[in-house]
Amino acid sequence: MGFLTPFAFTLAALLPVIIAFYFLKLRRREQIVSSVYLWQTLVRDVAANAPWQRLRFNWLLVLQLLFLTALIVALARPFSLTTAAVGRHLVLVVDTSASMAATDVSPDRLTTAIGQAHRLAADLPADTPVTLIAAGVQAQVLLSGSTDRTRLTQMLRSLRAGPAGSDMATALELASAIVAGEPEAEIVVLSDGGVELPARMPAVARVRYVPIGRSGENQAISALSLDSGLSGQIGGDNYQPYSVFVRVTNYGQQDVTRRLMLYAFTSQGESLLTVRDLLLPAGKSVSFTVADVPLETAVVEARLEGRDMLALDDRAWAVAPLVYGAQVQIVGPGNRFLETAFALLPGVEVTTISLEDYEASWNGSSATLQSDQAGWLTVFDTVLPQEGHYPPGALLFVGPLRATRFFSVTGTLDLPVARPASTGDPLLRYVDLRGLVIQRAALIPLPEWARPVIVASPVSGREGGDTPLLAVGQTDGRRLAVLAFDLRQSDLPLRVAFPILLANLVGYLVPGIRGDLPEAVAPGTVVEIALPPQAEAAFVTRPDSVPVRLNVRDGVAMFDDTWMPGVYEVRWEGESGRWLLGRFAVNSFDPVEAAISPRQALFTIGGEKQYIPAAQPVRREWWRLPAWAALVLCVTEWLVQYRGGVVWLWGRTTALVRKK
Amino acid sequence: MTTPPLLEPKFLPQLERMAIVSRRMRAGRIQAERRSTKRGGGIEFADFRTYAPGDDFRQIDWNAFARLERLLLKLFVAEEDLTIHILLDASQSMVFGEPQKWHFALRLAAALGYIGLVGMDRLIGVALGDPPGGRNRISRPYRGKRQALAWLDWLNGLEPGGTLDPEAAIRACVAHTRTPGPVLLLSDLMGAGWEAGLRMLAAHRYEVTVLHILAPQEIAPGLEGDLRLVDSENKATVEITADYDLIRRYQARVAAWQDHLRGVCTALDARYVFIETTLSLEELIMAYLRKYDVIA
């Protein structure tokens, strides 16, 4: 409690003056009456007004003293420091990111934030609406402009810290939109500051940031990978053990020693790979590699023993890609570029056969592979078999010279300029087409089953603009790709992009061979699962062993329930049974969440600009209360002084009302 | 400024039909319209008495003589006059109020006196405390309607003012008047000594009627604030802070005072009539005083 204008207390000198008035003899007005005979008997009752009498209790004196006291207090402008909300509409934005699970405050940051939210709402008048926004990976409005405090309590209790970051920018945009046109509204952000705001924030007025948390002592597994030791050899096996790469980061301000334990999971069970005590300097990372991890290892788990403020990032997982012994058969005159590129892919057995030998060995069924189990890719390099002599499995046509039942060739294109058909195509991931030289390509109209991946740029004076140079698709229960030019008439095989493009194509054409599944994703990531054409359904088993059935459409299934850190197992189901497609891990390697040190302001990305400072205690003035009290006391004093007239007036009014 | 007449001419015929009520029969000086303790030539039969020499033989009942062969005198209640005293408080306190108590009392005295004169009663007016500070001013006796103007002139000649010692004034009055009869006391009764004066009148067998006249400002004073009240008679002062409580207590005091006076009058077999000056004279005479059996 303080006073903004303590000088007003000098007016307290008037208090004894008022009291003195009651001591002093009053200057009375003379009034002639017929006789004082009747008044004399009452004079003893009014003797308080005798000169220099002793002070007697008088309600008027009390009221006047109280009035002056209240007035003085109001003029002194009393205030108190508070963090309570003062708006007419309170918007609570509660950070539910992973870092809010930190236990540096008891019991954890999110519970503390919920408690703060409760107190803020409790300090408001009952008719003040409250909006609750949970700022998790996705901002979500849980309560909009409600005065139902019970509902607010329920919603606050339902909040849980997520495994990933928070979309605070969207949450603030939502909050700003909700309170648009309400200048008296107030947005309160309850967060540990482990968020990043975009450089250009929406115009959010009257935002207060209440930082939650005290300590930033946290160590996290910031990287874990299981590097494949596989290397395919043309026509032979040469398998090498895995190696595990681990990085542990100390985000705290003190050097600590943590014990890291690595476990390997195989079909036989769990085994301890290694244990290391790591000295982690403050703010530094320590990394190491564990070699000779058994090839049969399916999953590696890293655990940081001991406790820190955030347990979420003390565990991480890495998965090994599945090996099916996939076969790639290249039909053609022999292409060193293709053979080398396929041989670089792990687990791929490459064979090359001439067209004559292919036709000679064609026996009608052709395939010896089990089409449901593994990938079988046949590459027709500048040659085409007789119509109908197509083996089961995926097909890749390279530089076709004539039309087939899958596509038609209407001509040739000279020196086409290649460009991506669309941005963000996963088949062109890490593939740079700039400067690619193609001497000649077949003019292939886009088949109905296909979509273009690489197209020829339209050039004035030339035909064939937007003609596909690479098209992929699915037809007749198989996946196909058509590369419209001969690799020998292009510098593509000499570029870095070539093996990458080929790897992406194999991943698409033969899912599972090189792991079209990502090895690891962040929590909340939507995983696109490419399934074999025979797949009728897909199942994902979550880390908590709960299976989730996915719908398959065009050989692709989407899975978005990746909120739980751990290993997810993907299987597909065909006519012949259910087959394991692969695994992927969900890890929280987000340094923003791992650096749990509470921040005193919300920063834009890169920390360039302090956008919302931490809310300091604000002065809440209390002058209205004593001012109202002074007014009430003044009116009361007047009523007491003139209560005779008031009673008379009341009586007259009542009588008039009764008459009516 | 012209003073309004004490009595309106149009009001006089109504007054002439009234009479001042006397609850007791008294021996008057002359025959009038009042019943007397004397037997005489009135109309109302009283008794028979054996004739004695010297009696008025006109009063012999010859019918009784024919039946009884005895000379009997037929006695009637003699109707004689009364001496009505109208005691008018002429102290300074009567010069107060709106309507003013003094002027109201004068008009009331004029009316009552006129009623008495018309009834052939003997009327004596006494101005208590008049002239200011001096002794009582007592009128000569009036009788008959013809002397009404003289009565009114006497009233008009009175000047109120000064202080009044009620007990002394009434004692002087009693000493001067020798024929007890109806006494109409018109006063505000402000001050001590009135009770003793009333007891004195009652002790001398006067038939007292107290007409207690107060102005509305004395019943519900509209006073406010810090005041020094100055007595109009003796200039005594009382300091008050007039607020709701005090005014309320004053009104309670007035009510208790009236009750006390009413009790005293009852004990003395006197009438007590409280009159507020806001009453019109006609209403007062025609209804109010008749209700209290002061006039009939």
* Ranges A194-198, A605-609, B128-132, B177-181: which has the least confidence: A605-609
Residue of A559, A555, A549 whose CA lies nearest to A528:
A559
Out of A35-44, A316-325, A378-387, the most confident range is A378-387
Instruction: Report, as an integer, the average pLDDT of B260-280.
Output: 92
Q: Residue A327 has which token pair?
A: 């076969």
Instruction: Supply φ then ψ for residue A391, to 5 degrees.
Output: -75, 165
pLDDT (0 to 100) of residue A479: 85
Lowest mean pLDDT among A114-128, A523-537, B145-159: A523-537
The answer on pLDDT for A230 being more than 50 is: no
CA–CA separation, A344 vs A228, rounded Å? Answer: 12
Q: Which two tokens stand for residue B214?
A: 């107060």
One domain, residues A479 and A349: yes
Interface test with B, best of A24, A25, A37 (most B CBs within 10 A): A37
Please give the Cα distance from B130 to B136 (Å, whole number).
Answer: 5
Number of Cβ within a 10 Å radius of residue A528: 13
Contact predicate A564/A159, CB 8 Å: no
Residue A591 belongs to some domain of the structure: no
Chain A residues with CB under 8 Å of B248 CB are: 644
Nearest CA in chain B to A646: B244
Amino acid in position B117: L
Type of residue at A180: A
Q: Look at the block and give the residue holding tokens 């360039």.
A: A608
Q: How many CA atoms lie within 13 A of A162 on its CB side?
A: 25
Nearest to B238 among A26, A29, A43 (CB): A43
pLDDT of residue A237: 45
Contacts of B192 in chain A (CB under 8 A): 37
Q: Between chains, do B226 and A37 touch, taking CB under 8 Å as contact?
A: no
- To the nearest whole angstrom, how far is the Cα of B93 from the nearest Cα of chain A? 4
**Beta carbons of B239 and A46 less than 8 Å apart:** yes
Q: What is the least distance, in Å, from the CA of A654 to any CA of chain B?
A: 19
| pLDDT band of A324, cuts 50, 70, 90 | low
Length of chain A: 660
Cα–Cα distance measured from residue A63 to residue A641, given in angstroms and rounded to the nearest whole number: 10
Nearest by CB to B232, from A29, A33, A642: name it. A33
β-sheet bridge partners, residue B275: B213
CATH topology for B9-23+82-291 is Rossmann fold (3.40.50)
The domain that holds A191 is classified in CATH as: 3.40.50.410
Helical segments of chain B, H only:
12-16, 62-68, 101-118, 148-156, 166-176, 194-203, 216-219, 244-267, 281-283, 289-291
* The last residue of a domain, from among A322, A353, A379: A322
A638 close to B (CB below 8 A): no
Question: What is the count of structural domains for chain A?
Answer: 5
Dihedrals φ, ψ of B254, to 5°? -60, -45
Q: What is the pLDDT of residue B260?
A: 94
DSSP letter at A301 equals: E
Q: Which residues of B touch A37 (CB under 8 A)?
A: 190-192, 231
Size of interface A-B (CB pairs under 8 A): 101
Q: In this structure, are residues A329 and A235 in contact, taking their beta carbons and an 8 Å threshold?
A: no
For residues A271 and A265, give the distance between their C-alpha atoms in angstroms, rounded to a whole number.
6
Query: What is the per-residue pLDDT across A496-542, written as a single tens digit (0 to 9) for each?
Result: 889 889 888 887 887 765 446 778 888 888 888 877 766 788 899 99
- At residue A408's C-alpha, the angle toward residues A403 and A412, to 5°, is 85
Asked if A46 is an interface residue toward chain B (Cβ–Cβ < 8 A), one would say yes
Q: With an 8 Å Cβ cutoff, are B241 and A46 in contact?
A: yes
Q: Is residue A553 predicted with pLDDT exceeding 90?
A: no
Question: A233 and A312 share a domain?
Answer: yes
Q: Which H or E element spans position A473?
A: strand A468-475
Q: Are strands A139-146 and A130-135 parallel, antiparallel or unpaired?
A: antiparallel
Query: What is the torsion angle, in degrees rounded to the nearest 10, for the CA atoms of residue A385, residue A387, residue A388 and residue A391?
Result: 20
Query: Could A45 and B246 be called an inter-chain contact, meaning their C-beta atoms sit closer than 8 Å?
Result: yes
For the record, the structure tokens of A635 come out as 């009116």
Per the domain annotation, does A593 fall within a domain? no
Are A170 and A191 within one domain?
A: yes
> Does the complex come out with an ipTM higher than 0.90?
no
- Name the residue among A381, A374, A378, A371 with its Cα closest to residue A347: A374
Chain B partners within 8 Å of A42 (Cβ)? 240, 246, 249-250, 253
Q: Between B19 and B102, where is the model more confident?
A: B102
β pairing state of A285-293 and A242-250: antiparallel
Closest by CA to A611, choosing from A170, A207, A194, is: A207
Q: Examine the domain organization and report whether A316 and A335 are in the same domain.
A: no
**Same domain as A378, residue A345:** yes
Kindly list the residues from chain A whose CB atom is less than 8 angstroms away from the CB atom of residue B236. Answer: 36, 40
pLDDT per position as a tens digit, A13-30: 998 888 888 777 666 788
Q: At A524, which CATH number? A: 2.60.40
DSSP string, A68-126: HHHHHHHHT-EEEEE-----SEEEEEEE-SGGGG--SSSS-HHHHHHHHHHHHHHTS-T
Q: State percent of chain A over pLDDT 90.
A: 23
**What sign for the dihedral angle of Cα A466, A467, A468, A469?**
negative
User: Please, where in chain B does CATH 3.40.50.410 lie?
Assistant: 9-23+82-291
> Whole-model pTM?
0.48
The number of residues making up chain B comes to 296
**C-alpha angle B137-B143-B148 in degrees, rounded to nearest 5:** 75
Contact B190 A31 (CB under 8 A): no
Contact (Cβ atoms closer than 8 angstroms) between residue A358 and residue A334: no
Q: Is B247 on the interface with A (CB under 8 A)?
A: yes
Instruction: Quick: pLDDT tens for A66-117.
Output: 999 999 999 999 888 766 666 788 899 999 988 899 998 889 999 999 998 9
Q: Which residues of B touch A642 (CB under 8 A)?
A: 244
Contact in structure between A76 and A5 (CB atoms under 8 Å)? yes
The CA-to-CA distance between both ends of chain A, in Å, stands at 54
Tell me how far CA of residue A293 lies from CA of A146, A148, A244, B163, in angstroms: 57, 58, 7, 133
User: Which one of A484, A508, A532 terminates a domain?
Assistant: A508
In this structure, are residues A566 and A556 in contact, taking their beta carbons and an 8 Å threshold?
A: no
pLDDT by residue (tens digit) across A459-486? 655 555 678 999 998 887 788 999 999 9
The residue segments making up the domain with residue A228 are 219-322
Once rounded to an integer, what is the mean pLDDT over residues A354-372? 64
Question: What's the rounded mean pLDDT across residues A275-282?
Answer: 91
Mean pLDDT confidence for B38-59: 66
Q: Check whether residue A433 and residue A581 sit in a common domain.
A: no
Residue A366 pLDDT class (50, 70, 90 cuts): very low
Confirm if A565 and A500 have CB atoms less than 8 A apart: no
Question: Does residue A515 fall inside a structural domain?
Answer: no
CB atoms within 10 A of CB A71: 20
pLDDT value for A329 = 87
Mean pLDDT of A44-48: 51
Three-state secondary structure call for residue B139: coil
Residue A63 maps to a domain: yes
Q: What is the mean pLDDT of residues A31-42?
A: 85
Decide if A645 is inside a domain: yes
Same domain, A71 and A89: no
- Same domain (yes/no): A234, A303: yes
Verify that A381 and A481 share a domain, yes or no: yes
Question: Is the same domain home to A173 and A286?
Answer: no
Name the region of A353 (left: φ>0; alpha: ψ -120 to 50; beta: rest): beta
Nearest to A42 among B188, B230, B253 (CB): B253
> Is the pLDDT assigned to residue A495 strictly greater than 60?
yes
Tokens of B197: 């004066």
What single DSSP character describes residue A347?
A: T
CA distance A107 to A101: 9
In this structure, the answer to whether residues A443 and A393 fall within a common structural domain is: yes
- Rounded to a whole number of angstroms, the distance from the CA of A648 to the nearest CA of chain B is 10
**A464-523 residues touching B, CB cutoff 8 A:** none
CB B295 within 8 A of CB B21: yes
Q: What does pLDDT average to over chain A? A: 82
State whether A112 and A205 are in the same domain. yes
β-strand B83-89 against B182-187: which pairing, if any?
Answer: parallel
Supply the pLDDT for residue A611: 63
Nearest CA of chain B to the CA of A641: how many Å? 7
A267-A271-A277-A282 Cα dihedral, nearest 10 degrees = 20
Query: Closest partner residue to B230 among A32, A46, A647, by Cβ?
Result: A32
